[in-house]
Chain A
Amino acid sequence: MSDIYLDNAATTPLDPRVLEVMLPYLGEKYGNPSSFHSKGKVATDAIREARESIAAILRVRADEILFTSGGTESDNLAILGYARMNKQFGTHIITTSFEHHAVLEAVMRLEKKEGFRVTYLAPDREGMIDPKQVADALCEDTILVSIMYANNEIGTIQPIAEIGNSIQKFRAEKNLPHLVFHTDACQATAYLDMNIEKLHVDMLTLNGPKIYGPKGTGLLYVKRGIKLEPLMFGGAQEKGIRPGTEDVAGIIGLAKALELVQKERATESARLIVLRDQLIDGILGSIKRTRLNGSRENRLPNNVNISFIDIEGEALLLYLDASGIYASTGSACTSASLDPSHVILALGFPYEVAHGSMRFSLGHETSKEDIEYVLKTLPPLVATLRSLSPVSVDEKYWL
């Protein structure tokens, strides 16, 4: 029975090298970093080293890193924390309509309950945001822009440095020191340049479980001088902005995971791009009435997102699962809300395209043989489901 995991955008397996450095902190090195004795110092030192190692990779200062429980918390802290602390300087926020829900729902909360005005920029049909759209939306009332580095469903890579540049320019011209730029880089961390100086961002979210690190770990980079209102209260940890005893083992693991993916990203990206393209070309070439969602050029090395027209994603997901292939779908049927993928809809395609979308996200363990197996297994499964399906969606809706 095959066991082909193509859902690395959902989460990655823990790298054994990461687990190894974590283990002592789950065992004998159990001290609380806030304790004033030697057991506490062991933990404090470990966290300091982890923070310094991360800061060096991101080219920032160690005191600009806040450890959190993951991507969702980092996004929420960046958006809610910043907006609430700085609302006297403006109440306009810019984001995109295809952000991760951790950003979208935090922003919607501010819009619905706390008097903020939000501009949702729409990506083009290729899943790209034009820096000009951001520049046009900026106004003197804008305090926060949040745009993802790479999209979690379709893997499109946004021109973050360019967008950051134009925000910086606007900030300088109009003298708006409180206008800041946040990016959710969770999907990008393993594959893209994470030099924050070059990205021109003021806040950045990344997390462990997308980079072969432990679940429940993440961080928020916050440029020196930026003030955030905490979401929680009750301790001095992380400068009081994120109180609570630190997850020492998790932080050690996150630092190791970041170090490894960034060190290996050039070779791993090159390897995965070949497999990704083989999978995309293989599916589009062997199965009719399919479309690649998201730009082919500006695309993460590990993301393949294809809509199989006339069939429903959950059904295909289950057929693949039974063949030992684990993927993900934008179909309404697997979401708790029964709403289909907001990302595919944001590209301007109708519900039919979203219902039939499948994401295959590659990773460390993906081999050429895996891709060949998928390409051999997939066509008959799609053919079976199409033979059950009464619909034939007109090309004008999906081509």
Chain B
Amino acid sequence: MKRLTFLFAFALAATASAAPYESSGIADWTTPPAPTKEPTFKPPVAKRVRLPNGLAVLVVENHALPIVSMSLVVPTAGTAYDPKDKPGIAAFTADMLDEGVAGMTAIQIAQEEDRLGATITLGAGVDAARISVSTLTATLDSTIDLLAKIVSQPAFDPADFSRVAGDRATALELRRDRPREVASLVLAGALFGIDSAYGHPGAGVRESFKSISLADLKSFYAARWNPAAITLVVAGDVDSRKVVDKLNAVLGKWQAPGAKPARIKGTPSKPGARLQLVDRPNAPQSDVRIGIVGIDRKDARYYAFEVMANVLGGGFTSRLNQRLREQLGITYGIGAGMDWRLQPGPFSISSAIVAAETGHGIAEALAIVTDLAAKDVPAAELDKAKQNMIRALPAEFATNAETAAAFANLAMHGLPDTWFARYADQVRKVTAADVRAVAKAAIPSGKLVISVVGDMAKVRADLDKLGLGTAAMHDPYGNALP
């Protein structure tokens, strides 16, 4: 009866519109109006100079508003360079730089930022440490002075060290409250090995955190925060020549004690059990990650891979989201994407799925991946994905901060500053056969690893039916259980 009622309601509505469309004067409402002439887009161009100490500076001028953003990338100081027995050093080091510098306490640094209308944010990603700065044109010089002190004259005071260590230790204690973070770190550990460069949690782990000393941070900083490895991108309302002169004056003489450090080479893929589980009693939904070690950033299949990821889980209309959200209603959203790293990084599908449908949702996602390798993507769908990527490129430069980050990212990967100019043409060349081939070779559904943080009492029986083999269990922090 339910179905019949639906049909009846639908028929009624179709004959009686709420609005007097006939008075609109538009004869055809069903054909989407054609676009006008395709506009041309030229990505911004960066001016590149090198300071005497090897620090590379890129400047992108944009005078729309009296503001400036900067992105400083240190591609030798990411968490991938943590010593095996002391995970967390890279992130802790980055955290310490604005906790006290020559002549200023952490509080005074924060007060100076506010006075200048500046925000300086530090952090360590996997491949690189980064500093993001936003400020006003009017206070740019003083902001650069402050940035230079933070990056080149950190105090590493023992009292600050113990205070920040306390904060970071507490954050690790609270990790179990953040199921999405735990789901991601369990997947990384399963794909790369929990004590490997790409497999360990960048913030560290509770068990070994106390072994990190101030001396460890000082030596990590001395060895890996080396100006010869750094790229600083300035984007916004600046005069290129003046800002380079200023940077040269305050950073050009900065020298690190050692030689330019080496970068990561090769990350072992170390797949363990395909099912990685964390019990979170009473969780109403399960945080799910489905992943595999992807391809190299410089692999010729890069563009085909990106088109494939777009079709699979790139936007609202992706296959995963249409099926699991718009048809099944078992999630608020699901997406997929590659974390492009210096070495092949993780490709992952991410979602939070209602507890009762966790096994079902994972099976659906795997079936969608299987299908991508088995059949060509229809022409219209392929075109949608490619046009989406090409026409969305301008939005990558919507703000100075995004522009600076985009160029800093190219520098991190060792790609040319002109890379974006060729992007659209490369995407256009991708064929359905390319997409199918890369799906089949790079993300075979039979090898994907699945991590789930959820209420095992509710989800375990369904997960066991997926035929993924023996599950590896983890505690609520993501540590492997025996």
Q: Does A pair with B?
A: no
B interface list, Cβ under 8 A from A? none
